[in-house]
Structure 1
Amino acid sequence: MSYSGKIVWNKVKMVVFDVDGTLYEQSKLRKKMLFALLGYYALRPWRLGEMRLLQRFRREREKHPAYAGPDVENAQYAWCAEGTSYPVAKIKRVVQQWIFDYPNQYLSDCTYPGVKEFFNALRVNHIKIGVYSDYKAHDKLRAMGLQADAVVASTDPEIDRLKPDPKGLLYLADLMRVAPEECLFIGDRPELDGACAERANMPYLIVEKQPFNSFNFYDNLTKLLTTDLKPTTTTYESDIYAS
């Protein structure tokens, strides 16, 4: 269920985060990456096809929502290679360089304001932190200075499912020994993250679209969490409105 009303924080045992577009602003990162790519390939015009290859990789992945394995990790490269002259090995190399490795140096600058403080508030209040990403996320989290109790990706062999298939969320809940309804999933795409949570019977929030310099989604969550969980004889509930 989407939170269109109230979150009772003392019933939340784990918060699960998507990564891309949820913990950092993708548009800001993409601008930095565009300059980097143009600068790199301007000096190597004979390799401009690799830029189109990156676009194709993302596009082909988007064409397979809820895809169920086996071996999603390698299937995503096979989709990209189909109908082209590019070998899978080259696609993997280019994707690794420009999607998984190079952008990490910019992530700290693109991390949404308030994310670290919200992570800290969750830890102080003994709420577990999970991450369920479309792509492998350990290096991204490290680049943002964030730590989670459990991290899974759609391409992990234990999952082998793309969103909105709910297996990743259900796997995390089982791994951390909490019920799906005791979790809160935070994502940025209703058609994928929201649908994924609904299929898992897990409450969720969609990150509000705000200008980066005035982004206060996580600051507001931190304030409401810390207010609701103050030692008191009264039960408080916080109003959170999903986008």
Structure 2
Amino acid sequence: MQGDSHSLNWSKIKLVIFDVDGTLYAQAKLRKWMLRDLLGYYMLRPWRYKELLILQKFRSEREHRNTEDCTDLENSQYAWCADGQKVTTDDVRKVTDKWIFTHPNQYLSRCAYPGINSFFTSLRRMGIKTAIYSDYKAHDKLAAMNLTADLVVSSTDPQIDKFKPHPKGLLYIAEQMGVAVDECLFIGDRDERDGLCARNAGMPYLLIDTKTDDSAAFYPVLEQQLNTKP
């Protein structure tokens, strides 16, 4: 199931699992805010330009090592970035904490997809559980968007320690919530990560199309279908 919400049997779904970046909010909109802030900050501090290289490499390493079999992802992601650069893992943590994990959160409520809060409310009212599965830490992001879920899991959590598309995170969530895999629905935005992760887990899924205007109607349409289920 990819993008065809009309084939959903809401009467069977007991748990909806959400990705975060690009799924709960529009990344393109957030990137415009962040580009403005980054340029404004480093134009006044050109001697710190190497921090931009840290940010670039941090994201690149995570992207390209997603299928690498390693342990301790939480610490490894910083070591990968520091390797080959004249920086320490502490330097990497400081820069990424500011620009990736903290600063963007102030804009998330403005970038959230229309209807996402209402959809969460409707799921709760219908007795359907909710969970979050992201490759990044998500608690602060959810708080910034005024969203709550029954379970929040990151790929770097020690009990997961695998990036998508490895299915361990989805299978862990289903087990923890006591729900069969085929009674779950995973909502993401990237087929090569979220879609493949769901297929590897044998879990039904939907992908929000972030490249068209249809993304604005994605959650209102889902909520309408949920509220009119037999």
Verify same fold: TM over 0.5.
Answer: yes
Verify: 1:105 aligned to 2:102, yes or no.
Answer: no
> Which residue identity lines up with residue 180 of structure 1 in the other structure?
V
Unaligned runs of 5+ in 2: none
The corresponding residue for 1:124 is 125
**Higher normalized helix content (fraction of residues):** 2
Three-state SS of the structure 2 residue aligned to 1:129 is: strand
> Which residue identity lines up with residue 221 of structure 1 in the other structure?
L
The corresponding residue for 2:72 is 71
Verify: 1:175 aligned to 2:186, yes or no.
Answer: no
Post-superposition offset of 1:66:
2.8
Three-state SS of the structure 1 residue aligned to 2:228 is: helix
The corresponding residue for 1:53 is 54
Distance in 2 between residues matched to 1:160 and 1:68, nearest whole Å = 9
Evaluate the alpha carbon distance shift between residue 211 and residue 97 of structure 1 in structure 2; reply closer, same or farther with a 3 A threshold: same
Evaluate the alpha carbon distance shift between residue 108 and residue 102 of structure 1 in structure 2; reply closer, same or farther with a 3 A threshold: same
Cα RMSD between the aligned structures?
A: 1.5
- The answer to whether the Cα contact below 8 Å between 1:185 and 1:205 also exists between their aligned partners in 2 is yes
Post-superposition offset of 1:213:
9.5
- The answer to whether the Cα contact below 8 Å between 1:68 and 1:162 also exists between their aligned partners in 2 is no
Verify: 1:86 aligned to 2:87, yes or no.
Answer: yes
Distance in 2 between residues matched to 1:43 and 1:206, nearest whole Å = 40
Post-superposition offset of 1:69:
3.6
The corresponding residue for 1:199 is 200
Three-state SS of the structure 2 residue aligned to 1:186 is: strand
Distance in 2 between residues matched to 1:36 and 1:213, nearest whole Å = 28
- The answer to whether the Cα contact below 8 Å between 1:112 and 1:212 also exists between their aligned partners in 2 is no
State percent identity of aligned pairs.
55
Choose 61-70 or 145-154, whichever is displaced more.
61-70
1:1-243 pair list within 5 angstroms:
1-2=1-2, 4=4, 6-209=7-210, 215-229=216-230
Aligned pair count reads 229
Post-superposition offset of 1:2:
3.7
Distance in 2 between residues matched to 1:210 and 1:164, nearest whole Å = 21
Give CA-to-partner distance per residue, 1:136-172, whole Å, 9 cap, x none.
0000000000000000000000100000000000000
Post-superposition offset of 1:65:
1.8
Unaligned runs of 5+ in 1: 230-243
